[in-house]
Structure 1
């Protein structure tokens, strides 16, 4: 029997032309966290398929999405309520990009479209206020990025732990609740590159896509993020044994 139960809340899908080769965001999350002794379950909240209870998993992951946290979709308000239920239940969360933003919004923060445009390719972030629950602090974190929206106001009690000149709240720690990241640690270099090529001239300008592709060679720290998730999940488990 697996040590942990991890629930993936699917809020988006890869573009249709990439889905056959790169499957789905839940598959990418499972690959990212495959070193953890866990049983994974996926709930397609995008189609209003919600778990019966926050208690059925130890860690909940919210994927990336093409949608904005502030947009009016029938599944967003129920998902925000479910986030608050997870917090009340004492279970943990890990939010990625859209998930990072929606968790902040659900807890009282604010998310907006950034007036300076897109973050694309591998972006580097400075570390600050690193909590001991996340293990040894890295010197910096570099992650694939693909976003226009950003958190502009943190909820009460949230601690910003990573930032850049472009993205003020790049990683946020919620004590006794979990970590969220604006980047995409679940994206492989192959998928991130294919996504930019697909969006060239279709949502992104030629220059934007090329600038993002030029940063693909920068080493990224997806494995570091995966280890950090395992660290706080393991510490949570030891405190609840």
Structure 2
């Protein structure tokens, strides 16, 4: 019999801009849809509001969503999340996306900062660096993986016991795999469909992000991506 705390915890650390959630759902919804389609038990925690799984909970895995927040901002909920990650059982699989990618690195000994390179938006291509590992995770080989991104912050120093799975000149630490514990994270957003990624950028056009940069980025999103390969890798990682 499954224990009542045998579930994957989705830690919601951000919400979409007003109006987009009515069409596309929340960031947690994007992952809960994936997990529900696979028959996985999950529970959403509003970590942005201070919710976290209780210490000692028997978690099947953890997914940390994206957020417009910066891990270095020092908000109480961010500090609490990093403290929680530091004492989490090292055998619990943790997946981080964008902010989740960054907060895992920051909590476990790496360093994150607002990049002087500016905004990374649109479809970015990462060069796979750990080919055998990617083959194991994705079930297929690849030289590059393309996926939607929207970020200013970057992991600039890897934690110990972590390797770069994939990256680019713009984002050297685009995907990180942890060898000292069960962790996998991506700076990109495989949970974003093309329409949401496009509408998200348009909502920030000329407000947070330069209009010309957004226009170019939206065009790149029309190209084929590997988001389903990444989602498959995440699903497999959470199963192991």
TM-score with structure 2 setting the length? 0.91
Question: Does the CA contact (< 8 Å) of 2:92 and 2:182 recur in 1?
Answer: yes
State the partner residue of 1:239: none
Work out the number of aligned pairs and report it.
Answer: 234
Matches within 5 A, 1:55-70: 55-70=57-72
State the partner residue of 1:231: 236
1:212 to 217, 220, 227: 217
Secondary structure in structure 2 of the residue aligned to 1:16: coil
Q: 1:33 to 1:170 in 2, by over 3 A?
A: farther
State the partner residue of 1:159: 163
In the alignment, the residues of structure 1 paired with residue 215 and residue 182 of structure 2 have an alpha-carbon distance, to the nearest angstrom, of 38
State the partner residue of 2:44: 42
1:199 to 196, 199, 204: 204
Question: Does the CA contact (< 8 Å) of 1:164 and 1:170 recur in 2?
Answer: yes
- After superposition, the C-alpha distances for 1:8-37 in whole angstroms (9 at most, x for unaligned) are 000000001212112200001123445433
Using the TM superposition, give the Cα deviation of residue 229 of structure 1 relative to its aligned residue in structure 2, in angstroms. Answer: 1.8
Q: Which ranges of structure 2 fall in alignment gaps of 5 or more residues?
A: none
Secondary structure in structure 2 of the residue aligned to 1:179: strand
2:143 is the alignment partner of 1:139: yes
- After superposition, the C-alpha distances for 1:131-160 in whole angstroms (9 at most, x for unaligned) are 265244433211110001000000001010
In the alignment, the residues of structure 2 paired with residue 104 and residue 42 of structure 1 have an alpha-carbon distance, to the nearest angstrom, of 22
RMSD: 1.9
2:95 is the alignment partner of 1:94: yes
State the partner residue of 1:13: 15
Q: 1:133 to 1:58 in 2, by over 3 A?
A: farther
2:82 to 80, 83, 91: 80
- After superposition, the C-alpha distances for 1:154-199 in whole angstroms (9 at most, x for unaligned) are 0001010101111000000012412100000111111111111110
2:101 is the alignment partner of 1:118: no
Question: Does the CA contact (< 8 Å) of 2:164 and 2:173 recur in 1?
Answer: yes
2:25 is the alignment partner of 1:23: yes
TM-score with structure 1 setting the length? 0.91
Deviates more, 1:66-75 or 1:122-131: 122-131
